[in-house]
Copies of this chain bind each other. A is one copy, B any other.
Amino acid sequence: MSDTVESRLAALGITLPEPAAPAANYVPFTVTGKLIYVSGQVPMGPNGIEHQGKLGDTYSVEQGQAAAKLCAINLLAQAKIASGDLNKVRCLKLNGFVNCTGDFGDQPKVINGASDLMVEVLGENGRHARAAVGSSALPFGVAVEVEGIFEILD
């Protein structure tokens, strides 16, 4: 099998989810020109929300990285629908928000869970600019939320 996004996903044992239809007046992504803005993704798995917890408290960096990875998988699932072909998608920017206590300082390590997955799946097209910050609380008590901007390549 040639080196494609699909072959890399298969090698990683990752099946991209079929995202649910939007339940509100916002949508999972918008496209303008070559840019795709993907809504903030939480660690939603096949059976619902996963990875609820607060870093610096009961939740470890390793658990946070798993949460960030699941957010990144959900970002890729949306970018696939938006673009039609992940082989023509480049990740420009990720913003990672970490639900954490006031003295936690390892946000970058946590968000590496998302950054690493992007490069594992998209290869060189996965190298993105990024911000990683702490958040006092996140939707449904999840540990991590990540939003992304992608480019549709020619």
Q: Which residues of chain B have C-beta atoms less than 8 A from A40's C-beta?
A: 130-133
Task: Considering the complex, give the chain B residue whose CB is closest to the CB of A108.
Answer: B139
Q: Point out the residue from B90, B119, B137, B140 that lies within 8 Å of A25, measured CB to CB.
A: B119
Q: Quick one: which of A93, A100, A118, A141 has the most chain B CB within 10 A?
A: A93
A39 touches B131 (CB 8 A): yes
CA distance A135 to B139 in the complex (A): 12
Given A24-B108, A40-B130, output 20 extra A-B contacts at Cβ < 8 Å: A25-B127, A26-B94, A27-B129, A29-B129, A30-B90, A30-B93, A32-B90, A33-B34, A38-B129, A39-B129, A56-B137, A97-B133, A104-B137, A105-B140, A107-B138, A107-B139, A108-B139, A131-B145, A135-B135, A135-B136
